[in-house]
Amino acid sequence: MDKEFLNKQKLKVTITPEIIQSSPTIKCECGGMVFTEKLVFKKMSALLSPSGQEEMFPLNAMVCDSCHKVPSIFDPNNMFPPELKADGHIFLQDYEVKV
Ligand SMILES: [Zn+2]
């Protein structure tokens, strides 16, 4: 198979309304299905930073519009703090509330 043939094959795969209808919708743990992209900033210590200086770096976070948390499907590497995670815990003073 030559490259031109492979490129033509790729072009034949088009996303139709039927494909979209039969694909599962990504859901938050709360059932929410609409998300907004936000930024979370992490602070990297001078010891770990490649520049040798304290650095701040942004992480893109997909936040659920219903519960305002990050569903675990959008945090596979567990990079967000537990209080931001949909399957995490909210700490209210001395009370721990499972969400
Ligand atoms: Zn949610």
**What is the reported pLDDT for 1?**
54
Q: CB neighbours of 78 closer than 8 A, spacing ≥ 6?
A: none
CA of 75 to the centre of ligand 1 (A): 13
Angle at 58 between CA 70 and CA 52, to 5 degrees: 135
**What is the reported pLDDT for 13?**
77
CA distance 94 to 50: 38
CA of 23 to the centre of ligand 1 (A): 20
How many Cα atoms within 13 Å fall on the side-chain side of residue 97? 7
Residue 1 covered by a domain: no
Enter the pTM of the model: 0.67
CA distance 92 to 6: 57
**What is the reported pLDDT for 91?**
47
CA of 28 to the centre of ligand 1 (A): 5
How many separate domains does the chain show? 1
Residue 5 covered by a domain: no
CA of 25 to the centre of ligand 1 (A): 14
Contact predicate 63/88, CB 8 Å: no
CA of 15 to the centre of ligand 1 (A): 28
Residue 4 covered by a domain: no
Residue 2 covered by a domain: no
User: Phi first, then psi: what are they for 96, rounded to 5°?
Assistant: -100, 125
**What is the reported pLDDT for 24?**
94
pLDDT digits (tens, 9 = 90+) for 26-78: 999 999 999 999 999 999 999 988 889 999 999 999 999 999 999 999 999 99
**What is the reported pLDDT for 93?**
46
Q: Bigger pLDDT: 99 or 38?
A: 38
Range of the domain at 74: 16-98
